[in-house]
Amino acid sequence: DQPWIVAPKESYTRRAFEVAFLSLGLQPPVPGIESPSFHASFAILADNPSFVTVAPGSSVRYYEALEIVKAVKLKEPFLEDRMVLAVRRDALAIPSVAALREALREMAVSSDQA
């Protein structure tokens, strides 16, 4: 019954978090704190060790190496999900970034049709 720090309800991360619990027939925990940033969540954890949170594996490994957080091994781990391309809006004006975005969209469409 640890208090949870989770992303806001409208976020992709929050939906993935809730689906993970629901797919096991469990009600998702009610968040003690909503945080739009896993960096902020880790800062809260550093000062409040009773809280738990969910974050991308790469960021957990990074902060674990800094001894700020400790990864918890789960009996039923969260499934890895699709890749997310995150850039500043103005970066889409760069031809190579726009081309990468379009290539990823095409790959996503073709994998959904497979």
Phi and psi (nearest 5°) for 85?
-95, 120
Q: Which phi-psi region, left, alpha or beta, contains residue 113 (left: φ > 0; alpha: ψ -120 to 50)?
A: alpha
Average pLDDT over every residue of 33-40: 93
Taking the C-alpha atoms of residue 62 and residue 85, their distance in angstroms, rounded to an integer, is 19
Which string of b and e fits 56-78 if b means at least 16 CB within 10 Å?
eeeebeebeeeeebeeeeeeeee
pLDDT in tens, 2-32: 899 999 998 888 888 898 888 888 899 999 9
Among residues 23, 31, 24, the alpha carbon closest in space to that of 53 is found at 31
Per-residue pLDDT reduced to its tens digit, 49-98: 889 998 888 888 888 999 888 888 777 666 665 556 677 778 888 898 88
Domain boundaries in the chain? 4-65, 82-114
